[in-house]
Structure formats: structure tokens, C-alpha cells
Amino acid sequence: MMRRASLILGTALLAAALAGAVAGWHTLPIAVLAAVLVLGLLFERYVYKPIRPDPPGPGWDRTQERFVDPRSGQNVVVYYNPRTGERRYVAENGP
């Protein structure tokens, strides 16, 4: 819901900046802000890491962090690689 409202706001700001530019107003800061908002919201869907079915190999520590993925409803466990700082999200196969 918040994402949709933010997309609507960003799109409205982009439209207002375009209309202001056509009218001769200096609307570049508003256009840049709106573009960053809209592009950030659209891009973030592709940045999230996938949920993997199997735990990673050696060098990964299972953390205490757990959550339920809102899309799939799966229980997810987070693994952390202290050497690289990378995190991996793995579907939990049991209680």
C-alpha cells in the first residue's frame, strides 16, 4: 500500500515538474527528486535476493534471524559469510 502511494506521488511530481517546465518554471530539483523516488521504487523489486532452497556451503554461519517471506509465505533463515559480508536467504525446511 505504501509502495503504491509512493509511486503515485512520484508520478504526480514528475507530471507537475513536466507541466512546470512547459510553463517556463525552474522545476529540475522536483523532477530529479521524483525520478529518484519512482526509479528507486521500481528498481528495488529486482534488488532483493532470491530465497534459495538449500543452505550454502562451508564458511557460512546460520544467524538467529528468521522471517516469513510475504510473497511466498515461506519461513526464511538468514546465513552470513563473515569473510565477504554477504547474506543469503534460505527456505527453512523444518520447525
| R_g over Cα of the chain | 20
pLDDT along the chain (95 residues), means of 10: 89 94 91 92 76 92 92 91 92 72
The predicted pLDDT at position 67 comes to: 92
The predicted pLDDT at position 69 comes to: 87
Sorted by where each begins, the domain ranges of the chain are 2-47, 51-91
The predicted pLDDT at position 46 comes to: 65
Residue matched to cell numbers 546460520:
62
Residue matched to cell numbers 534460505:
90
Specify whether the CB–CB gap between 78 and 87 falls below 8 A: yes
pTM score, whole prediction: 0.52
